A and B are shown apart, each in its own frame.
Chain A
Amino acid sequence: MYVHRLTRYYLVGLVITSLISALAVGFFLPRQVVAQDASVTITLGSWDDENGNRRHLAAIEDFQAEYPNIHVEIQPNPGGDWHSRILTLIAAGELPDIYMVDSSYIPLYVESGGLVNLRPFIEGENGFDPEELFYPSVYENGFYKGDPYVLNKDYSTVAVYANRSLFEAAGIELPQEGWTYDDLLDIAMQLTVDANGNNATSPDFDPENIVQYGMDHRGDWWRGFQTTIYSFGSHTISEDGTTLDGYLNSPETIAALEWMQDAVHKYHVAPTNNFILAQPGGVMPLFLEGQIAMVFGMGPWFLSMLEETPGFEYAILPMPHGPGGHHGAVCWAGFGMSPTSEAKDEAWLLLKALATEIGQRHYSEHALSAMPAMMEDKVDHPFWSTFIAEVEYLDPLDDLRNPYYLQCVGTPAGQQITAVLFGEEGANIDAAELVNSLLPEFQQCMDQQGMVESSAEEASS
């Protein structure tokens, strides 16, 4: 039925040719950027967007003016999930020589073998004295178990954005450093107004038809809420990073949660988390429209946006004092070095340059710098100065106490504790009960990873 002659050879030829043409070229073509002459290429991993990368490029240009033999290539990762990417690259041994690290992940990367201890470099022949150059409270956010792994690129403290026109119209003076959570609630009540023009202090106030909220909250952003917990006098995990019980459910933590829960559900001065989530552009458009008088616990990221809004008058207020005083958490980005880098000495030169003047000159334009010297023009700035003043109240993040804190506690706590208590259905939920019911699950999640580690050690010994 079938006539076969050269068929097989024909087909074999076709298939083999296509495979070989595909594969062979893959093996023999050079694919990595191989620098000509004697220069070295250092890769720089960045999660920044287009704007941020322009700053990297400018910094690299200045760096190369000084070190013409070191070529730097940016490996950007726009909009993507940077952390997952880093984990994948660690697994594959393909990390860029220098890469950006969010401080919350430092412990996990160190434990996974993704970061080099920088102490030998700092103390080495091309080293410098970080204590002299940096704010200690900022520098220490790059530490894990007593060693520096990451040097700061930039960071953000949080403060309170206030709509100055609403304050002025209501004749309320802008609060100064030293104000308290009670003051905050008091002001927020006066600035919360319903559709009839009655504010939250009035017996006629209608919480169902609020047109202007006195304040807001950061919803499910746990790192943001940590600032409030610290201010109420607690941390969320023991100092050695092992235990949540007695911290996450301490009376102070619960008091902090209940304060915000009451602000939302009892006094109605802040919208529910659902309301905030429903805003396509986040809370900032509402703030600009005068529907929220104070944006509570927000970083300086929106200063440029506000500055560009014509005719909008605003002020930046310090964070209020809680029963535990004035404390702050920090959003911190830095540069770390890959253990698989083949040119660690050159990589260090770049890392040092970016963390000190050459890089900071550029990065400090839109964020805070760990170098006080780089923020001279911001110290007198009406808005930046408040964020800078917060630096001295910083506590190292709880995230730095356990490699799995963020994934096992931070993110789920935001989702299942703050988002729920400050959410639509949060009015009748007992904060202590909720935290205690979730605590074992969080603890177990961290311990699972721990169990895994100890069993790994047993097996290897």
Chain B
Amino acid sequence: MTLLTKRFARMSPAARREALTFYVCILPWLLGFIIFVAYPMFRSLYLSFTNYQIGRTPIWIGMANFERLVRDGNFWQSLKVTALYTLGSVPGSTILAIGIAMLLAQKVRFVSVWRTIYFLPSVVSAVAVAVLWSYVFNPEYGLINSLLALVGIKGPGWVTSEDWALPSLIIMSWWVIGGQIVIYLAGLKNIPNEFYEVADIDGAGPWTKFWRITVPMLSPTIFFNLVIGFIGALQVFEGPWILSGGRGGPNRATLTYMMNLYKQGFELGSLGYASALAWVLFVIIIILTALIIRSSSFWVYYEAKR
């Protein structure tokens, strides 16, 4: 705090006024942050060191929740499921979204219709989606297995099988990429056309152009989507919840971290333990994001700062 006041003292009146304007500008967000983010976060940090059964008063128990977590089979299982889900879902949806965005960035007729079609799956209500996918993944009459049967492959049991339930969820996540496509499209639009023209003059093929222009120029967008994607995947809840009827089955094969947390907090009523779980996830997310940001200097290409 003293550092801040010292800096203020050293500032010119104009700079001071600018700084003040800045604080006024961000005031709404700052207030919202304090009330709706910082306070709840610190409260839940406190709760994570307590025994807080719903309807009782929280009681300080030190590290007991974290000790319990290490011994909890559901914790490790859910961590495994979430890690596998993230590793499958994020790269797959990234590749698909980039591919589709590149197609949509071409000069095609009725481009708004095409875009709307690819955006559609992202707006369907979760309730309807659940009914739908149980049909797509039906081992006997499902769309996927019927198609596989055409080429003579006997499809697996998908959501009903312990081995295939998680892959089913991952495939499901590849379908809801409307938001990502839009962001990639925006990224593609921002690549100056001159780059491709120069490349054409130099006789570069499409492949070369893709790797030498598109990917580097798109890398900030990819980076952004990856960060958002990782955070989203680590917190995945709705899809597995609906598809397994809130149970994380078969045999815990789709018990994601958030589902386990939700069950602990809002089915067993152990809010203290659930808070501890939440903070562990938060720390994991922070570490992973920091790693991605660190790695970004090796592969994200930035234009010279304006």
Q: How far is the CA of A79 from the CA of B24 in the complex (A)?
A: 44
Q: Which residues of chain A have C-beta atoms less than 8 A from B262's C-beta?
A: 84
Interface stretch, picked from B98-106, B154-162, B172-180, B206-214, is B154-162
Q: Is there an interface contact between A456 and B59, defined as CB atoms closer than 8 Å?
A: yes
Name B101-152 residues within 8 Å CB distance of A. 127, 131, 134-135, 138-140
CB-CB contacts below 8 Å: A1-54 with B: 1-2, 4, 7-8, 11-12, 15, 18-19
Verify if B292 is at the interface (C-beta below 8 Å from A): no
Task: Give the residues in chain A near B131, CB-CB below 8 Å.
Answer: 280
In the complex, the answer to whether B54 meets A81 with C-beta atoms within 8 Å is no
* B138 and A278 contact, CB distance less than 8 A: yes
Q: Is A211 an interface residue, CB under 8 A from the partner?
A: no
Closest to B134 in A: A280
**Contact A277–B266 (Cβ < 8 Å):** no
B250 interface hit (Cβ, 8 Å): yes
Q: Whose C-beta in chain B lies nearest to the C-beta of A12?
A: B24
Chain A residue contacts of B55, Cβ below 8 A: 90-91, 111-114
Is A87's beta carbon under 8 Å from chain B? yes
Stretch at the interface among A134-142, A255-263, A446-454: A446-454
In the assembled complex, the Cα of A1 lies from the Cα of B14 at a distance in Å of 8
Q: How far is the CB of B138 from chain A (nearest CB, A)?
A: 6
Q: Check B252 against A415 for contact (C-beta < 8 Å).
A: yes
The range of chain A's interface size is 35 or more
Chain B residue at minimum C-beta to C-beta distance from A105: B267
Q: Is the CB of A19 within 8 A of B251?
A: no
What separation, in Å, do the CA atoms of A139 and B287 have in the docked complex?
54
Q: Taking the nearest CB of chain B, how far is it from the CB of A457, in angstroms?
A: 10
Q: Mark B233-253, 1 if CB is under 8 A from A, else 0.
A: 000000000000011111110
B43 at the interface (CB under 8 A from A): no
B271 interface contact, C-beta 8 A: yes
Residues of B close to A7: CB separation below 8 A: 21
Q: Is B203 an interface residue (CB 8 A)?
A: no
Known: A8-B20, A407-B268. Contact between A274 and B157, CB under 8 A? yes
Answer whether A278 and B139 are a contact pair too, CB < 8 Å, given A83-B267, A449-B53. Answer: yes
Interface string of B11-48 (1 = CB under 8 A from A): 00010011011001101100100000000000000000
Q: Which of A88, A275, A277 contacts B159 (CB 8 A)?
A: A277
Q: Is residue B73 contacting chain A, with contact meaning CB distance below 8 A?
A: yes
Give chain A residues whose Cβ lies under 8 Å from the Cβ of B250: 220, 273-274, 277, 415, 419, 423
Contacting A11 at CB < 8 Å: which of B14, B21, B160, B270?
A: B21
Q: Which residues of B contact A459 (CB under 8 A)?
A: 59-60
Quick check: is B263 within 8 A (CB to CB) of the other chain? yes
Residues of chain A from 415 to 461 with CB closer than 8 A to chain B in the complex: 415-416, 419-420, 423-425, 441, 448-449, 452-453, 455-456, 459-460
Interchain CA distance A420-B131 in the complex, whole Å: 24
Contact check: which of B54, B158, B267, B270 meets A90 at CB < 8 Å?
A: B54
Asked if A411 lies at the interface with its beta carbon under 8 angstroms from chain B, I say: yes
CA gap between A279 and B159 in the complex, in Å? 11
Q: Which residues of A have CB within 8 Å of B268?
A: 404, 407-408, 449
| Cβ contact within 8 Å between A452 and B27 | no
A189 on the interface (CB 8 Å rule)?
Answer: no
CA distance A273 to B54 in the complex (A): 35
Chain B residue nearest to A7 (CB atoms) is: B21
- Within the assembled complex, what's the spacing in Å between the Cα atoms of A415 and B17? 63
B269 CB-CB contact with A under 8 Å: yes
A4 with B51: CB separation less than 8 A: no
Task: Report how far A448 CA is from B268 CA in the complex, Å.
Answer: 11
- Residue from B135, B159, B247, B270 in contact with A415 in the complex, judged by beta carbons closer than 8 Å: B247
The distance from the CB of B127 to the nearest CB of chain A, in whole angstroms, is 7
Question: Which residues of chain B from 244 to 290 have a CB within 8 Å of any chain A CB?
Answer: 246-252, 262-263, 266-271
Task: Identify A274's interface contact among B31, B161, B252, B266, CB under 8 A.
Answer: B161
A108 at the interface (CB under 8 A from B): yes
Q: Which of A278, A407, A420 is most buried by chain B, counting CB atoms within 10 A of its CB?
A: A278
Q: How far is the CA of A273 from the CA of B127 in the complex (A)?
A: 24
How far, in angstroms, from A404 to B160 measured CA to CA in the complex?
Answer: 27
Query: B139 contacts A108, CB within 8 Å?
Result: no
> With the chains together, A294 CA to B129 CA distance in Å?
31
The verdict on A419 contacting B59 (CB below 8 Å), with A15-B28, A278-B157, A452-B53 known, is: no
- CB of A415 within 8 A of CB of B160, answer no
Question: A425 to B250, alpha carbons, bound, how many Å?
Answer: 12
When the two chains form their complex, are residues B53 and A456 in contact, meaning their CB atoms are under 8 A apart?
yes
In the docked arrangement, what's the CA distance between A126 and B134, Å? 51
Residue of A nearest to B253 (CB): A415
Contacts of A4 in B (CB 8 A): 14, 17-18, 21
- Residues of B74-106 at the interface with A, using a CB-CB cut-off of 8 Å, are none
How far, in whole Å, are A424 and B158 apart by their CA atoms in the complex? 13
CB of B189 closer than 8 Å to a CB of A: no
What residues of chain A lie closer than 8 Å to B248, measured between beta carbons? 415
- CB neighbours (8 Å) of A83 from chain B are 266-267
A84 touches B157 (CB 8 A): no
Interfacial chain A residues near B135, Cβ < 8 Å = 280
Nearest CB to that of A277 among chain B residues?
B160
Rounded to whole Å, the gap between the CB of B49 and the closest CB of chain A is 13
Q: Can you name 14 A-B residue pairings with CB atoms under 8 Å?
A: A4-B17, A15-B28, A81-B246, A88-B266, A111-B55, A112-B56, A114-B55, A273-B250, A277-B159, A278-B138, A278-B157, A280-B138, A416-B252, A449-B270
Known contacts A8-B24, A407-B263; can you find 15 more A-B pairs with CB under 8 A? A2-B14, A4-B14, A83-B267, A91-B54, A111-B55, A112-B269, A273-B160, A277-B160, A404-B268, A415-B252, A416-B252, A419-B250, A424-B157, A455-B59, A459-B60
Query: Footprint of B on A, CB under 8 Å?
Result: 1-2, 4, 7-8, 11-12, 15, 18-19, 79, 81, 83-84, 87-88, 90-91, 108, 111-114, 220, 273-275, 277-280, 404, 407-408, 411, 415-416, 419-420, 423-425, 441, 448-449, 452-453, 455-456, 459-460
Closest 9 CB pairs of A and B: A112-B55, A84-B266, A277-B160, A113-B55, A274-B160, A278-B160, A452-B51, A278-B139, A459-B59
Residues of B at the A interface (CB closer than 8 Å) are 14, 17-18, 20-21, 24-25, 27-28, 31, 51, 53-56, 59-61, 68, 73, 127, 131, 134-135, 138-140, 157-162, 246-252, 262-263, 266-271
